[in-house]
């Protein structure tokens, strides 16, 4: 049995992971989905990571055997969590891949990210999510305080933990043609692929659970 620490992206909440948690728990695994302190103006990246660690300790009682999953902006937090725990695996799900000293706000230009001009957030992030579920996801959205966006990523190197990257082939926010070279350059690995939008945990939770368990 593994413990999956699930870290949402910018503007998100732990609610995003509920369908995936149901699938993982149904297969006999533990999950800890964390609400990052996004709207706390005093919380930096280390504070976000410590929040995850505290939640895991509160719910599980130890830090052994963790599978840390970071989605989107959560890619800036997940490696810091691995550095502060005894994680066995790090999975970036359509995640941002930071480099030492890089602030999240600088990542976009540094990676050559080209903004996709889609006004409708559902069409951009959740085009394959059932309409009622997508509407509920928007209601759970949150603002993001500035500190964790502008302070440098605190690690001086990538954590010494096996790392997998899972891109979403139908992602309109981080399209595959952008993600593949970014991951090769920054992680030195070939990304794995799954069908679905940027919100694949809502649109294909069963398939995503199978992929995550397959990494164990």
What's phi and psi for 206, nearest 5 deg? -65, -45
At 107 the pLDDT is 96
With beta carbons less than 8 A apart as the criterion, state whether 36 and 48 touch. yes
For the segment 7-43, what is each residue's pLDDT rounded down to a tens digit?
Answer: 999 999 999 999 999 999 999 999 999 999 999 999 9
139 C-beta neighbours (distance < 10 Å), count: 7
Chain centroid, CA 100 distance in Å: 18
The rounded distance, in Å, linking the Cα atoms of 111 and 165 is 16
* In the chain, domain spans: 3-214
With beta carbons less than 8 A apart as the criterion, state whether 97 and 186 touch. yes
For the segment 86-145, what is each residue's pLDDT rounded down to a tens digit?
Answer: 899 999 999 999 999 999 999 999 999 977 777 799 999 999 999 999 999 999 988 889
Averaged pLDDT for residues 61-72: 93
What's phi and psi for 196, nearest 5 deg? 125, 170
**DSSP H stretches of helix in 27-83:** 45-60, 78-83
Q: Which CATH code of 3.40.50.300, 3.40.1030.10, 3.90.950.20, 3.40.50.1820 fits the domain covering 3-214?
A: 3.40.50.1820
At 143 the pLDDT is 87
**pTM (2 decimals)?**
0.96
The rounded distance, in Å, linking the Cα atoms of 65 and 68 is 10
């Amino acid at each position: 049995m593994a413990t999956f620490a699930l870290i949402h992206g910018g503007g998100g909440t732990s609610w995003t992971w509920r369908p995936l948690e149901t699938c993982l728990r149904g297969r006999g695994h533990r999950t800890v989905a964390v609400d990052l302190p996004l709207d706390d103006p005093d919380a930096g990246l280390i504070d976000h990571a410590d929040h995850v660690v505290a939640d895991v300790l509160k719910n599980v009682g130890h830090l052994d055997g963790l599978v840390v999953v970071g989605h989107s902006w959560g890619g800036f937090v997940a490696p810091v969590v691995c550095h502060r725990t005894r994680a066995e695996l790090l999975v970036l799900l359509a995640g941002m891949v930071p480099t030492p000293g890089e602030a999240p706000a600088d990542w976009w230009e540094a990676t050559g990210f080209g903004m996709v001009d889609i006004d409708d957030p559902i069409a951009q992030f959740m085009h394959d999510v059932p309409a009622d579920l997508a509407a509920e996801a928007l209601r759970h959205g949150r603002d993001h305080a500035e500190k964790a966006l502008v302070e440098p990523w605190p690690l001086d190197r990538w954590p010494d933990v096996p790392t997998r990257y899972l891109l979403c082939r139908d992602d309109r926010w981080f399209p595959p043609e952008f993600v593949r070279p970014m991951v090769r350059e920054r992680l030195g690995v070939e990304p794995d692929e799954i069908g679905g939008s940027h919100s694949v945990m809502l649109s294909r939770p069963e398939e995503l659970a199978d992929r995550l368990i397959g990494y164990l």
